[in-house]
A and B are shown apart, each in its own frame.
Chain A
Amino acid sequence: MIEILSSSALATVQDQGREGYLRYGVGTAGAMDRLALSVGNLLLGNPEDAAGIEIPMFPFRIRFLEDTAFAITGADCAARLGERSVLPWWTAQASKGDVLTIGVPASGTRCYLSLAGGVDVPVVLGSRSTQLRGQFGGYNGRQLQKGDVVQAVGLEQAAPLHELAREAGFGTVPPEFSIPRPLAVPEAEATETVVRVLPAAEYDCYQPESLAAFWSEGWKVTPQSDRYGYRLAGPTLSAVRVIEKRSHGIVPGVIQVPHNGQPIIQLRDAQPSGGYPKIGTVIEADLWRLAQARIGTKLRFVQTTYPEAVAALEDVERYLAKVRNLVDLFRGSRH
């Protein structure tokens, strides 16, 4: 059980998302960086579908109202539990009354706070994720506010033998150091986020110069970017003819091009349908990279194929499987 001490923090309860309801007009919601949430759950030995708290605004402060194991993953934040600093991608034990302060990230944008057993909110349509558009799911269908008390499901954990180890915790190597970054041509700068993209239905409707720019230029993440989608700024993408389309189903990751020629990437809280032409789709395996791209930085798109996109997802799953095995071994060795 924790109490939120930060006001208007825009933090939400999220799990891996609400799958299977797009056809009814219900968006997926769910964590923007699902990989980070997965690792947080693995560190704690939580079920895969456990919910955590997605934090996009800093500093974020909570008070533990009981002894609870927690994990922080995602953006590299300067975090403190009382006086003690907590490393990124780390799990530790909090005692009743401890205050956890998650500071402004040095890199990345979203931090995930996981609690032992997962955040305990009702499952609505198969998920604990906050559906902001529909105002249901998560914590009363809204963002967390100062004074909210959030319950953890709780979990019987193997108590580490050593008192010091229990306090200090352990962590994982962040995935950006384990899963190779896709290669952009021309080479991407260190500050650019590189994601792989599958050409989408209207890809062939764009001018050859526009398509060349799409793959070779950096696309700035504008301040109008959030869980709904990222509006990008860069060279104008021009179609060879006017494209008029009826509204049709879209999924997180779809890159649309409105009439102004500046692309929008639809994300977890996007409407499940739209009528803008689609130039591409960011592959599922790279959505976690997108989730951590900062406003003002640039994105680079790398063309990929369906088999490569499937292989990339397998890379992510292999990383998670490794972490799962290692955590089991590490916890097991302390029994």
Chain B
Amino acid sequence: MTHKIEVQVSELRQITSWLTEVDIEFVEISRPGTTIRLTAEAQQRGALHESPLPAVPGGGTAAAAHVLEGVQKQVTTVTASSVGIFLAAHPARTTPFVSVDGHVARGDIVGLLQIAQLCVPVLAPIDGRVLRVLATHGDKVGYGTPLFVLAASA
């Protein structure tokens, strides 16, 4: 990389203080080969919040998944990979993409994130069944907000 990164430590402090003020958990900037992540410590932020979500693997999709090993079966939480408005159905339609107990195939669109005029799909990362829908149509969501819980099909 010939691109020289010029960041002052004082600027980083300024950014982290802004994050703390508005209660944002972390900021992540990715470019090929480089990822910069600033995480505000949990105690600095409001006491109401849980611990930060684990890092999600990089990818171009609007949703990234992290897998939690359940007691009996594999359960996957689908999270938002962008700030946006969660849409359970397309703006022109009324039928939601999925509902609880519905089956999904890997790559199916299970919801949308509306980012201003854009609609970015939330994709099912696995074949499975919808256990829970955690977000409501029209909810403002942030990076990492859990949207769905899926159970992997056996």
Contact = CB atoms under 8 A, between A and B. Distances in A.
Tell whether A and B belong to one assembly.
yes
Contacts of A21: none
B119 A173 contact: yes
A164 B117 contact: no
B104 to A, nearest CB: 12
Contact of B121 (A168, A178, A327, A334): A168
A107 B92 contact: yes
A86 B58 CA distance: 25
B37 to A, nearest CB: 16
Given A162-B59, A164-B106, A165-B61, A87 B118 contact: no
A174 B123 contact: no
Interface string B119-146: 1110101000000000000000000000
B114 to A, nearest CB: 6
A164 B118 contact: no
Interface string A100-137: 00000011000000000000000000000000000000
A214 interface: no
B123 A164 contact: yes
Contact of A172 (B59, B60, B118): B118
Given A161-B58, A161-B59, A162-B59, A326 B123 contact: no
B60 A334 contact: yes
**Which range holds the interface residue count of chain A?**
20 to 34
A327 B119 CA distance: 10
A162 B120 contact: no
A88 interface: yes
Given A161-B58, A165-B59, A335 B117 contact: no
- The A interface, classified by DSSP as helix, strand, loop or mixed, is mixed
A146 to B, nearest CB: 30
Interface in A124-171: 160-162, 164-171
Contacts of A169: 121
Given A162-B59, A165-B61, A167-B107, A330 B120 contact: yes
B63 to A, nearest CB: 9
**Max chain A C-beta neighbours (<10 A), residue from B92, B115, B117:** B117
23 contacts: A76-B93, A87-B109, A88-B92, A89-B92, A107-B92, A160-B60, A162-B59, A164-B59, A164-B107, A165-B60, A165-B61, A168-B61, A168-B123, A169-B121, A170-B118, A170-B121, A172-B117, A172-B118, A172-B119, A177-B92, A322-B116, A323-B118, A326-B115
Given A168-B107, A169-B121, 15 more contacts: A87-B90, A162-B59, A164-B59, A164-B106, A164-B107, A165-B59, A168-B61, A168-B123, A172-B117, A173-B117, A173-B118, A322-B116, A326-B117, A326-B118, A335-B32
A-B pairs, 8 with minimum CB distance? A162-B60, A161-B60, A160-B60, A165-B60, A162-B59, A165-B61, A171-B119, A334-B60
